Amino acid sequence: MNTTRFEYCFVRLGEGWMAVKHSVRNEYQEVIHQYAAQGWRLVQIFAPGIGVYGAAKYYELIFERPVN
């Protein structure tokens, strides 16, 4: 039986279609590398809701890491 417990971190990128366009394209890789260096693992990129022109209102990166 696996008894590993995890903690989660949620990082929101962008607000509105212009912010999403710029922040996600230019910053998401850097954010993922920063969190990975701290022991976090990217689990999912979530885009809730639809904004202007069918674009996501924002993106949320979901990270997890084992709890000691």
CA 28-34-13 angle, 5° bins = 30
pLDDT attached to residue 5: 96
By CB atoms closer than 10 A (0-12, 13-18, 19+), residue 48 is: exposed
pLDDT attached to residue 21: 54
Within 10 angstroms of residue 14's Cβ, the number of other Cβ atoms is 23
pLDDT attached to residue 27: 79
Please compute the mean of the pLDDT values over residues 52-63 and round it to a whole number.
82
